[in-house]
């Protein structure tokens, strides 16, 4: 029976091939698009662990409720000092005020603008999960003495120094010379921005050269453990309400955000994205199924006479039905099989910076659905073929 | 071909014990198309002397007979053939095939009857495209559920009988018209059906192929196979033992040309001729 079906399909190679292509694209796109969606949420998960689950970010700005800009008190280094007080905030392990700016880095005749120039305390490295690959971190001593030293990210190092060893070299940031003391380990892009494209220098040095000694952009706080982040969060809120002279907890001029909650929001976004991609792919699979119906109808019409001959030779209805169902199922099985292969091969390439991660259930699911579609959409033409009266079928020209 | 069909000795093969029941018994058969005033009676039989309504065709065909049905186009001979072949159902009347009333059979049983009892030979060959001769002949056996090895053996025997053993792997488009029709004959006889139905089997063939195909059919009839053949050529009809003429859905003449249990007339004549020749040349064999 399968041999008959194969011969039937081989009789119209181009047509069968194109129909299979429809199913192939459907199945491959289901697998591939779901893998891309899954890959992007996996990347988000990775960046959660990369950022550290026990870090908290304090940033200025209205957390809730309308509030005019003039009444917003900016975060200052004093706020950071208050948070570092062990008596008031027992769950806070370390505090790092952060200022960010942008400046061109010049080395020799190379000028390159890194993504961010960050001024902070050494505690930042641990809190933000930034590890040194070569050289060393700058020290508290460097901060106290406003030394012009910097730690640079791996992307920046590659752009500015190419293959040269950056340690000990001087780069000019906005006219101020900085000595590179360390290069950070590569964290890898999360798909949205490059965390390796940074220059990190002591806070007072950056304030002196760029931002001035006013406010800071953020205060990065590390809780003593992942379990105490909630406690640390409320301690921070209490302390900052004190320093900012606020009484109403619903009208804060700062925000304490938990990295985990921030990223879980991003993860749910990427899940929505996955569902959307899956829906698009499912539609293309459905279109492939309709393609099968179309081709099988054409085949039935074209082979009406052959069906008549077979009936005259005594083929029972079930055999004719079986033959055409086998053909359509074979089309979908072959198409789906090739689609699975293409999907899995395709997922080895990264798409728009996202490394696709194949979901095994999507492979079986897409294959199963494609085969079911072949059976379902093939049954109508097959039934039509089997129900033909032999005399009508034989007379068909 | 003539040599091959000489092998079975017809006189010894057919020894009927008493009168066998007719293979085909048809009573009051009519077939009409359309409704009301536009009704066309493709088969009507004689008219009722009282109200003029068609009484239908009555027909008996004995086992081992070779019947030619003649008539111009539109005479109802193809309709008769389709009904006899269970491809079409009569409007009224009873049809007993080998003692079974096929009017009561459902679709499933009808396909079984077509498979087991009837072998078709069509004017346009009606071979399954893109299928080798061997597979064509195996097809009815496959539908009958015969096992592969047995199927192959019987298909080979049938192809050998029509002289196409060396063409078993050829597809229809690689065969001449005569060869295609011989494959169709092999396909029709491979299930050893009660009767062969041939609808103008030589209508699309040249005279040489016509000779070959008719010789095979003669030979099959000589071995006791019932044959119903539709034609409009007198030349072809001369091979039959009995000739029916249809005009406007009625049998207008029924002529017997040879005995039911003898060889077909043309073969009988040739046999007597070749027997004489064989005594001269082939004596040593």
Residues B199, A394 contacting (CB under 8 angstroms): no
Please indicate, yes or no, whether residues A278 and A158 belong to a single structural domain of this protein.
no
* Residue A69 lies inside a defined structural domain of this protein: no
The span from the CA of A335 to the CA of A65, in Å, is 56
Q: Which residue has the higher pLDDT, B205 or B7?
A: B205
Contact B71, B77 (CB under 8 A): yes
A200 in a structural domain: yes
Tell whether the model's pLDDT for residue B131 goes beyond 70: yes
Neighbour count for residue A339 (Cβ, 10 Å): 30
Rounded to the nearest angstrom, the minimum Cα separation between A333 and chain B is 23
Option in B82, B88, B115 nearest A313 (CB): B115
Average pLDDT value for residue range A48-63: 70
* Chain B hits for A323, Cβ within 8 Å: none
Portion 308-347 of A in contact with B at CB < 8 A: 308-317, 319
* Mean pLDDT over each residue of chain B, to the nearest integer: 85
Domain ranges of chain B: 23-284
C-alpha to C-alpha distance for B4 and B43, rounded to whole angstroms = 39
Say what the pLDDT of residue B226 is.
Answer: 92
> Is the pLDDT confidence value at A71 over 70?
no
A24–chain B nearest CA distance, Å: 27
Q: Which of A305, A306, A314 sits opposite B114 (nearest CB)?
A: A314
Q: Is there a contact between B213 and B184 (Cβ–Cβ < 8 Å)?
A: no
The 3-class SS string of B167-207 reads HCCCCHHHCCHHHHHHHHHHHHHCCCCCEEEEECCCCCCCH
Q: What does pTM read for this prediction?
A: 0.65
Based on the fold, state whether residues A43 and A78 are members of the same structural domain: no
pLDDT at B147: 92
Please state the φ and ψ torsions of residue B158, each to the nearest 5 degrees: -65, -40
Query: A356 or B67: which carries more pLDDT confidence?
Result: B67
Share above pLDDT 70 across residues of chain B, in percent, rounded to a whole number: 90
Q: B127 and A11: CB-CB below 8 Å?
A: no
Report the distance separating Cα B91 and Cα B35, nearest Å: 12
Q: What is the pLDDT of residue B70?
A: 92
Q: What local confidence, expressed as pLDDT, does residue B14 receive?
A: 44
Nearest residue on chain A to B82, alpha-carbon basis:
A391
d(CA A137, CA A184): 9
Contacting residues of A for B107, CB less than 8 Å apart: 317
**Beta pairing class for A55-60 and A218-223:** antiparallel
Residue-range definition of the domain harbouring residue A42: 2-47+265-395
What pLDDT score does B18 carry?
55
Tens of pLDDT along A223-252?
887 778 878 888 888 888 888 887 777 777
Residues of B in contact with A311 (CB under 8 A): 87, 111, 114
Please tell me which of the candidates A7, A314, A390 has its beta carbon nearest to residue B112.
A314
The better pLDDT of the pair A377, B152 is held by B152
- Min CA distance, A302 vs chain B (Å)? 12
Contact residues, chain B, for A11 at CB < 8 Å: 129-130
With CB atoms and an 8 Å threshold, state whether B126 touches A391.
Answer: no
pLDDT of residue B40: 83
Chain A contacts of B195, Cβ < 8 Å? none
Contact A89, A173 (CB under 8 A): no
Section A364-371 average pLDDT: 87
- Whether A368 maps to a domain, the answer reads yes
Quote the tokens at residue A133.
């690959």
Provide DSSP, chain B: -HHHHHSS-HHHH---SSPPPPSEEEEEEEEEESSGGG-EEEE--SBPTTT--B--EEEEE-TT-EEEEE--TTSSHHHHHHHHTTSS--SEEEEEETTEEGGG--HHHHHHHHHHHEEEE-TT--PPTT--HHHHHHHHHHHTT--HHHHHHHHHHHHHHTT-GGGTT--GGGS-HHHHHHHHHHHHHTT--SEEEEESTTTTS-HHHHHHHHHHHHHHHHTT-EEEEEES-HHHHTT-SEEEEEETTEEEEEEE-S-TTS--HHHHHHHHHHHHHHHHSGGG-
Are A207 and A289 contained in the same domain? Answer: no
Q: B23-284 in CATH: which number?
A: 3.40.50.300
Q: Which of these three, A243, A278, A293, is where a domain ends?
A: A243
Given A182, A212, A243, the domain boundary residue is A243
Number of domains in chain A: 2
Q: Do A391 and B128 count as a contact with CB atoms less than 8 A apart?
A: no
Whole-number pLDDT of residue A193: 66
pLDDT grade for B121, boundaries at 50, 70 and 90: very high
- Residue-level pLDDT at B2: 40
Indicate whether A362 and A300 sit together in one domain.
yes
pLDDT score recorded for residue A104: 86
Three-state SS for A84?
Answer: coil
In this predicted structure, which of A99-103, A128-132, A358-362, B185-189 has the lowest mean pLDDT?
A: A128-132
Average pLDDT over residues A202-211: 85
- Rounded to an integer, what distance in angstroms lies between the CA atom of residue A312 and that of residue B113? 10
pLDDT in tens, A164-195: 888 888 888 888 888 999 888 887 665 556 77
Residue-wise pLDDT tens digits, A310-358: 888 888 888 888 888 888 888 889 999 999 999 889 888 876 677 888 8
Beta carbons of B139 and A310 less than 8 Å apart = yes
Span between the terminal Cα atoms of chain B, in Å = 18
Q: What pLDDT, on a 0 to 100 scale, did the predictor assign at position B6? A: 42
The stretch B151-169 carries a mean pLDDT of 92
B23 touches B62 (CB < 8 A): yes
A173 in a domain, yes or no? yes
Complex confidence, ipTM: 0.83
Residue A260 pLDDT level (bands cut at 50, 70, 90) = low
Q: Is pLDDT of B284 > 70?
A: no
Whether A393 has its CB under 8 Å from any CB of chain B: the answer is: no
CA pair distance B57, B254, nearest whole angstrom: 13
- Residue A189: burial class (beta carbons within 10 Å; 0-12, 13-18, 19+): middle
Measured between CA atoms, how close is A361 to chain B, in angstroms?
40
Give pLDDT, residue B8.
Answer: 43
Q: What is the rounded average pLDDT for all residues in chain A? A: 82
Is A327 in contact with A5 (CB distance < 8 Å)?
yes
**Domain match, A290 and A335 both:** yes
Confidence category of residue A69, pLDDT binned at 50, 70, 90? very low
Residue range B9-33, pLDDT digits in tens: 444 444 445 566 788 999 988 988 8
Residue at which a domain ends, from A194, A212, A243: A243
Percentage of chain A lying above the pLDDT 70 cut: 91
Both tokens of A89, joined, read 């905030």
* pLDDT for res B152: 93
Tokens of A103: 């400046």
Distance CA B32, CA A195 (A): 87
CA distance B86 to B24: 12
Mean pLDDT of B120-147: 90
Residue A185 within any structural domain of the chain: yes
Q: Which range among A244-248, B42-46, B141-145, B206-210 shows the weakest confidence by mean pLDDT?
A: A244-248
**Would the pLDDT of A123 be above 80?**
yes
pLDDT, one tens digit per residue, over A5-48 is: 787 788 788 888 988 898 898 888 888 888 888 888 777 777 66
For residue A317, the chain B residues in CB contact (below 8 A) are 107-108, 111
Q: Is the pLDDT of residue B118 over 70?
A: yes
Structure tokens at A262: 């921030």
């Amino acid at each position: 029976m399968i041999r008959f079906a194969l011969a039937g399909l081989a009789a119209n190679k181009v047509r069968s091939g194109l129909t299979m292509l429809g199913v192939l694209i459907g199945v491959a796109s289901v697998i591939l698009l779901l893998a891309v969606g899954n890959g992007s949420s996996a990347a988000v998960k990775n960046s959660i662990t990369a950022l550290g689950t026990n870090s908290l970010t304090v940033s200025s700005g209205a957390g809730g409720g309308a509030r005019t800009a003039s009444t917003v008190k900016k975060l200052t280094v004093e706020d950071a000092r208050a948070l570092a007080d062990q008596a008031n905030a027992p769950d806070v392990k370390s505090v790092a005020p952060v200022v960010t700016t942008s400046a061109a880095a010049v080395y020799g005749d190379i000028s390159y603008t890194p993504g961010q120039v960050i001024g902070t305390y050494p505690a930042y490295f641990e809190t933000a999960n930034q590890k040194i690959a070569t050289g060393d971190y700058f020290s508290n001593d460097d901060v106290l003495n406003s030394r012009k030293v910097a730690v640079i990210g791996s992307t920046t190092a590659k752009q500015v120094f190419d293959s040269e060893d950056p340690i000990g070299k001087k780069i000019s940031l906005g006219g101020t010379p900085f000595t590179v003391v360390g290069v950070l380990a590569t964290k890898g892009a999360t798909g949205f921005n490059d965390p390796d494209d940074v220059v990190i220098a002591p806070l007072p040095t950056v304030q002196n050269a760029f931002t001035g000694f006013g406010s800071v952009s953020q205060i990065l706080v590390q809780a003593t453990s992942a379990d105490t982040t909630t406690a640390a969060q409320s301690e921070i809120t209490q302390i900052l309400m004190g320093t900012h002279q606020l009484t109403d907890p619903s009208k804060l001029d700062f925000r304490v955000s938990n990295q985990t909650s921030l990223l879980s929001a991003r993860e749910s976004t990427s899940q929505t994205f996955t569902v959307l991609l899956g829906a698009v792919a499912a539609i293309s699979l459905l279109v492939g199924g309709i393609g099968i119906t179309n081709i099988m109808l054409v085949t039935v019409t074209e082979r009406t006479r052959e069906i008549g001959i077979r009936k005259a030779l005594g083929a029972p209805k079930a055999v004719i039905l079986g033959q055409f169902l086998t053909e359509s199922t074979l089309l979908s099985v072959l198409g789906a099989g090739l689609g699975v292969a293409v999907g899995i091969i395709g997922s080895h390439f990264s798409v728009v910076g996202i490394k696709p991660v194949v979901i095994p259930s999507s492979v079986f699911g897409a294959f199963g659905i494609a085969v079911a579609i072949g059976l379902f959409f093939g049954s109508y033409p097959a039934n039509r073929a089997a129900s033909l009266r032999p005399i009508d079928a034989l007379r068909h020209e | 071909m003539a040599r091959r069909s000489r092998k079975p000795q017809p006189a010894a093969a057919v020894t009927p014990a008493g009168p066998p029941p007719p293979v085909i018994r048809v009573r009051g058969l009519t077939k009409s198309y359309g409704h009301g005033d536009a009704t066309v009676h493709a088969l009507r039989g004689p008219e009722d002397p009282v109200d003029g309504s068609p009484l239908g065709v009555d027909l008996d065909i004995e086992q081992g007979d070779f019947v030619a049905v003649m008539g111009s186009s539109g005479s109802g001979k193809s309709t008769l053939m389709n009904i006899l072949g269970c491809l079409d159902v009569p409007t009224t009347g009873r049809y007993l095939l080998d003692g079974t009333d096929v009017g009561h059979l459902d679709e499933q049983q009808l396909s079984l009857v077509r498979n087991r009892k009837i072998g078709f030979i069509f004017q346009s060959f009606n071979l399954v495209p893109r299928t080798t001769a061997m597979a064509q002949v195996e097809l009815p056996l496959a539908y009958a559920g015969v096992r592969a090895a047995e199927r192959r053996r019987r298909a080979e025997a049938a192809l050998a009988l029509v002289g196409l053993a060396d063409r078993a792997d050829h597809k229809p488009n690689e065969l001449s018209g005569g060869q295609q029709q011989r494959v169709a004959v092999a396909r029709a006889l491979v299930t050893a059906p009660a009767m062969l139905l041939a609808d103008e089997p030589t209508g699309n063939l040249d005279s040489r192929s016509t000779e070959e195909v008719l010789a095979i059919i003669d030979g099959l009839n000589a071995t006791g196979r019932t044959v119903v053949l539709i034609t409009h050529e007198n030349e072809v009809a001369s091979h039959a033992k009995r000739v029916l003429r249809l005009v406007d859905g009625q049998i207008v003449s029924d002529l017997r040309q040879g005995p039911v249990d003898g060889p077909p007339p043309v073969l009988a004549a040739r046999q007597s001729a070749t027997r004489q020749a064989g005594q001269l040349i082939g004596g040593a064999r």
